[in-house]
Every structure is written in C-alpha cells, then in structure tokens.
Structure 1
Amino acid sequence: MIWLTWRQFRVQALVAALALALAAIYLGRLGLDIRDAHDAYLARCETDGDCAEAAAQFRGTYRQTLLLLAAGLALVPAVIGAFWGAPLIAREIEAGTHRLVWNQSVTRRRWLLTKLLVVGLAAMAVTGAVGALLTWAAGPYDEVAKTRFDALEFGARGVVPLGYAALAVVLGTVVGLLLRRTLPAMALTLVAFLAIQLLVPNVVRPHLMSPETTSLPMTAEAVNQAGNLGSITGGATIGGLEVPGATGAWISDTSPLRTADGAALSEATFNECLDDPPETGATGTFGDTAVCLGALDLHVDLAYHPEERYWPFQWAETGLYVAASALLAAFGLWRVRRRLN
C-alpha cells in the first residue's frame, strides 16, 4: 500500500520538493539580508544613540515582505488540503478504482490510513520546512518588532504550520470521502480551512490559557502612544496599546475607555474630544484630542499574555490541530468501513 500510494502521489511530491528548494533559496538569501540589516541597526544604535528611529527603519524595511510571506505560508496548508487531501479518496470513488483495492487483501481502513499517513506526513514535512525557514529568516526582525503574537505571524512561525498541514490533509480527505466528488470537495475544503484559520486566532486562541489582567491609566502621553482611537462601529475605544514592562506581550482584550468609577466613557463625550477638542497647541499623534481625553481621568482594563507564553501557545495550538486531525481521521476510518459502498 505504501508503494502504491507513493506511485499515485509521486508527481505532487516532486512538485512540492521543487517548490521547497526554491523557497529555501529565497528565504536563505532573505535571512542573510535581514541579519546584515540587523547588524547595521545595532551599529547605528550604538554609534548615534538613536535606537528608536533605527529600529523603526529596520522594521519598516522588512515588515511588508514578511507579512506577505506569512500570508503565503498560511495559504500553503489550505492549498495542500484542497489539492492533496480532497482528491485523495474522492478521485478514487469517482473513477471506481477503490473497488479494485477492496477486492485485494488490503482492508478499507488500512487503505485509507496508509494514504492519510503518507500524504499527511509529506504535507507536514513541506509546510514545516517552509515554516522553519521563515522562522529562521525572520528571527532578527521578530526580536526587534516584538509582533510574534500577531495573528498572521503566529501561524507562520514555530511548530503551528505542522498542525495546519495535518488538519488540512485530513479535513480534505474526509470531505472528499463524504462528498465523493473531487471538485466540490476541493472547493469546500479550501473554504472550510480558510474559515478555520480565521476562527481559531480570534475566537479559540485567546482562551487556550488564562490571561493576566491590568489597568492602564489613559494620560495624554498614553493616548498618544496608542495605535488608534475609535472604531467603525462607534464607541469610546482605543487600540494599539502596550503593557508597561511587558514588551512583546499579546493583548487579547481591551475594554472601552472607562471613567474613574469604572463606568464606560459616554460616546458623546468621546466624540467631543475626538472631533472638537479644546485647542491647546499640543503635539503628538493625537494632539489636542489626547490632552482632552487625558484630562478626564480615564483608564482601560487589559487582558494580556506575557511574551514568555509564546512557545506554550505554539505547542497548545499545534496540539489542538493534531487532536482535531486525529478525531477527523477516526471518523473517516469509521465512515469508510460502515457506510461507503
């Protein structure tokens, strides 16, 4: 069965090996460039003493490139699930070739399990290798930017890509087993896996561990250090904050702006400071608005995870994907034995 599966899968494997070789060449050169730029940043910081500007320039040089690469890596397991996993069984059933195998000494479960293991391990090897190369290439940038917890970057670093790949293959295979049609199975797998990649970082990941909590006074200086004020849905909100003394922490929840008694700041008062603040000639990101809000004795309540939880989160989320893969595989093995004729 292993030999037969390899014979059926060899073209995809060769294409993946070629793509991996090209990725290794590109990411290797990128990693060396980033390290040279990082050395220049450190030298400028030590010589001129202007570390903030040097760091901002270093981050700005590579931020867009690394975000695009992270987005590309996020698509790799989705594509693998659609083009490797979904046709794995659906194509056999459409062509009727599964009956030939079942008339041999190989059981249905062994047939399915062997296919899952061969293709799943290949997918994990390819995705994991690209993830490891990107993690290495972006290492100096991640050290300076402190954004490894960002949703897109988190899924493209460390061991999480291994869990993505395993789940994508098993999901695609089970969908193909249920639909029995290759093209619909490919489309549904792609949509479902992309939905999972959106759902898990925003809904599941924050609850994998209990967060730390703190209250942050919103002085004019603190407001000016924020990333944004307000939102498209309205309300007295503020975002892009950092936890003092916890650089690189992941802020998983930020309360609305609150007054000294803990009540939410009214939207009318917030909009007044935002749209028509008293003129003070203040500078900074939000200028007079920051002064207006700072005078109201406001604070926000934050839930956050310290930077040292990065690897525990990586392993926890990877374990979640592997467990989901195992459950789906078990369902597929039951289905192919009991219901598929």
Structure 2
Amino acid sequence: MIWLTWRQMRAQTLWTAALIAAACTYLLYLAADLRDTYQLTITDCTTACDSAKHAFADQFGPGLLLIGLVLIAGPALIGAFWGAPLITRELETGTHRLAWNQSVTRRRWLAVKIALVGGVSVVFTGGLSLLLSWAAEPFDGLVNSRFEPLTFAARDLAPFGYALLAFTLGLVVGILARKTLVAMAVTLLVFAGFQLLMANVVRPQFADPVTTTVEWTDANAIGQIDSFGIGPMGAGIQGYTIPGAWVVSDYIPVYKGDGTEVTEDDLYACDTQGGTPDDCMVALDASFTVSYQPADRYWDFQWIELGVATGLSAALAGFAFWRIRGLN
C-alpha cells in the first residue's frame, strides 16, 4: 500500500516539494538579509529611528506578505490537487473495483492514504510555516501585528490545521462529487470560504474582548489613532491600533468629559479658536472606549484555531470512512 500510494502521488509530491524547497531557499535568504538590516538600522540606530523603522517595514513587508499568501493558498491547493483526486481518480478509471476487492480493506486503504498523503501535506505546510515564523521574527517583533488576518493565518500553528482540514475536505468533496474537476473546484471555493469565515466570524468569538476607556491624553501612549474627524456617524476615530493587540472596534465614538458625544459644532469651535485637534480634545476632556483582544492571547487563539481545524478534519475523515463502504 505504501509503495502504491507513492507511485500514485509521486508527481504531485515532487512538484510540491520543489515549490516548498524554492520557498525555503528564499526564506533563508530573506531571514539573513532581514537580520543584517535589522542590526544595522534598528538595533544600532541612534537618530531618526522612527523613520528607520518605517523604512525597514516597507522593505521587508512585501516579501513576507508574499510567502504568507503562499502559505494561506497552499492548503487549498493541496486539498484540490491531493485530497480531491484521491478517490475520484479511482472511481473515474474504475480501478476501485480492483483495489478494494483485494486483501486490503477499503478502510485500511483509506487509512493509509490519509496517513501518508495527508501527513505529507501537513509536514510540508507546517514546516514552511515554522520557517516563515522564524525568518520573520525580528519583523513581527517590530511591527507587532501578529493578529492581522494575513499574518495570523500564515504563522506558527494555524497552517498545520489548515493543511489537514483542506486535505480531508478535498477527500470528502471527492467522495460526494465523484468527478475530479468538480471536486477540485468545489474544494477551492469551500476552503476559501472557510478561511474568510474563520477570520471574520469565528476567530473573534474565541474569547470576549477586553473593553477599556482611554483618555485622549493617553491615546497615543497606549496605541495610535489612524484618523479622527466627523462622519455620517458623528465625530469619532476610524482605526485605532494597540501594539500586539487585535482591536475589534471599527468606528469609535469620542465623548466629552460630561459624557456627551463630540459634535461637529465642537470641532468647528476648535477650528475657530486655533490650536491642534489634540489640544482641542484635551480641552474637552475627551475619551473613547475601545474593545480589543490583548497581545497575550495570541497563542491561545493559535491553539484554538488549530483545535477547530483538527476537529473538523476528524469529523470529515470519519464521514469518509463511513461513506467509502457504500461506494461502488
């Protein structure tokens, strides 16, 4: 069974391994360049360090984002090109009538396929994820935004679960569709939908966010205000970042010291009196309430996401073992 599985999957395994090797080579080069530049421009910085940090982030951000996108798309491709054809290829060619009527039972045949092919996909994806996490360590420590959706999904433990889930999803879709091309297309669409659902709906529910009131005088000490002004919803902050944390508040109303919202008239009065907007907000004793997931929950969220993906994978594998008995 092991030899047969290798013979059937060697083409996919070899070209995938070649792509992984190329990505690893690039990451090793990028890691060395990143660390050398970090030492010169950040660690040894004496003047204009803020601009040096921005230049460092601009220099290495695109390359790390590219590899991250590969890691996010990789499991979907593995599910489509490895998981989906695993059974549909046998059904379409009719070889299942021979393969499943030998001394090896259907369930044992499937168990070997899942263990070998699924195991290799997890090792490939997980290994690249760990290498990326190591290579990007100085960058991630400086930018401090590991909760960003494209960063979170491409680092540490989450890609292990994604790889396993994509493979078992492709397997089950193949069993149900019985057509390779249909199964591949459906696997790509469903898994992409899962990733969007996980990032935007499920992940925010892993833990109740922390809610805190921030005085305007402390706003830039605790985090950073992206933009502030008047809009359809009144005066407020559009985008507030806290280093390392995941701010879940999109639009944040700003309140005066008496508890009422800052209005357009207040902002107009500030303009006529002169001074900076910060001076005006301080004079109004302004504050705002922000909800966020603290930075120290990052690993908890990684483990939870791995658990969710692994649990779904186990359920899909169980369905595959049950359903394969009735295939003919």
TM-score, length-normalised on structure 2? 0.89
SS at match of 1:214: strand
Query: Are residue 18 (structure 1) and residue 6 (structure 2) matched?
Result: no
Structure 2 partner of 1:37: 37
Shift of 1:235: 2.6
In 2, Cα distance between equivalents of 1:141 and 1:185: 39
Contact 1:218–1:299 (CA under 8 A) maintained in structure 2 = yes
2:177 equivalent among 173, 176, 179: 179
Shift of 1:189: 0.6
Structure 1 partner of 2:7: 7
Shift of 1:69: 2.1
Query: Are residue 209 (structure 1) and residue 207 (structure 2) matched?
Result: yes
2:297 equivalent among 284, 309, 326: 309
Structure 2 partner of 1:340: 327
Structure 2 partner of 1:98: 96
In 1, Cα distance between equivalents of 2:110 and 2:16: 22
Q: After superposition, what is the alpha-carbon deviation per residue over 1:168-209, rounded to whole angstroms, capped at 9, x for unaligned?
A: 000011001001011111111101111111111121112212
In 2, Cα distance between equivalents of 1:255 and 1:299: 14
The one-letter code matched in structure 2 to 1:249 is A
TM-score, length-normalised on structure 1? 0.85
Q: Which runs of 5 or more structure 2 residues have no equivalent in the other structure?
A: none
The one-letter code matched in structure 2 to 1:9 is M
In 1, Cα distance between equivalents of 2:117 and 2:30: 29
Q: After superposition, what is the alpha-carbon deviation per residue over 1:265-295, rounded to whole angstroms, capped at 9, x for unaligned?
A: 48xx459949x97256656xxxx5x666666
Q: After superposition, what is the alpha-carbon deviation per residue over 1:31-90, rounded to whole angstroms, capped at 9, x for unaligned?
A: 000001110123442x33x33222222112112222222122211111111111111111
Contact 1:255–1:300 (CA under 8 A) maintained in structure 2 = no
Q: After superposition, what is the alpha-carbon deviation per residue over 1:293-328, rounded to whole angstroms, capped at 9, x for unaligned?
A: 666554332222222222222111111111110011
Q: Which runs of 5 or more structure 1 residues have no equivalent in the other structure?
A: none
SS at match of 2:84: helix
Q: After superposition, what is the alpha-carbon deviation per residue over 1:217-251, rounded to whole angstroms, capped at 9, x for unaligned?
A: 3469759941234799x4345243234xxx31222
Q: How does 1:1-341 map to 2 (within 5 A)?
A: 1-45=1-45, 47-48=46-47, 50-218=48-216, 222=220, 225-229=224-228, 234-236=232-234, 237-243=236-242, 247-254=243-250, 256-260=252-256, 265=261, 269=263, 273=267, 278-279=271-272, 282=275, 288=277, 297-337=285-325, 339-341=326-328
In 2, Cα distance between equivalents of 1:195 and 1:24: 28
Name the Cα RMSD after superposition: 2.8
In 1, Cα distance between equivalents of 2:314 and 2:264: 50
Q: Which moved more, 1:172-181 or 1:14-23?
A: 14-23
The alignment of Structure 1 onto Structure 2 pairs a total of residues equal to 325
Cα distance, 1:220–1:31 mapped onto 2, change above 3 Å: closer
Cα distance, 1:178–1:214 mapped onto 2, change above 3 Å: same
Cα distance, 1:225–1:249 mapped onto 2, change above 3 Å: closer
SS at match of 1:256: strand
SS at match of 2:247: strand
In 1, Cα distance between equivalents of 2:179 and 2:67: 32
Cα distance, 1:217–1:109 mapped onto 2, change above 3 Å: same
SS at match of 2:244: coil
